[in-house]
Structure 1
C-alpha cells in the first residue's frame, strides 16, 4: 500500500482508525466481568497501564519510566513513542532519552 498512498494520507486514515480501535478495546476490557485469576488481572493491569502511558505527555512518560523502569521492557517503552497520539508531541531525541534512563 505504501507506494500508492502518500504517508500523510496513510497517517490520516490509520491515525483516525487507531483512536477508534483504542476506545473500542478499552470498552471491551471494561466489559470483562470480574476475573478472580491473579495472572489475568495482572495482564489486564499491564494493558491499562500501557494505554494510560500512551496518553501521557512525554515528560510525564519519562518520569514513569524513571520510577518503574522494569514494569515494561525497553522495547515496549520505545514502542509507546511509535504510536501517533493526537496532541502528544514527541521530541526528536526521545528514544535516546528513554534509553539513557533505562541504561542506569
Structure 2
C-alpha cells in the first residue's frame, strides 16, 4: 500500500486523515502493518466486508467524493440511498458531494 505521505499527497488530505483511514482499515482486518516495512493489504479477509457502513461514514465529511466503478447505477443508488435521505432530512450536511460513475464503453469486434 502507498505510504502515509504518498496517500496524503495523492488525495490532498491531512496526515491525521491518512493515519485514521489506515487505522480503520487495520481495525477492519483489511490491512496489516509491519513495523519498519509498511502497510500491506491482506490477501484474504476473515469475513465479508460490506461497503455500506464505510460509505455512510464518508457522508459525515465536509466534502464527499465517491468514485464508483460498478456494473450498474442501481448498485450505486442502493449504496448511497440512505445517506442521501439523511441529507434531505437535514441530518447530514456535507458542503459538497461529488459522485463519478465511469461507464465502460463496450468494444465491438471488427470482422
**TM-score, normalised via structure 1 length:** 0.29
Bigger RCO (CA 8 Å, 6+ sep) = 1
As a proportion of its length, which structure holds more strand? 2
Higher Cα Rg, which structure: 2
**TM-score, normalised via structure 2 length:** 0.28
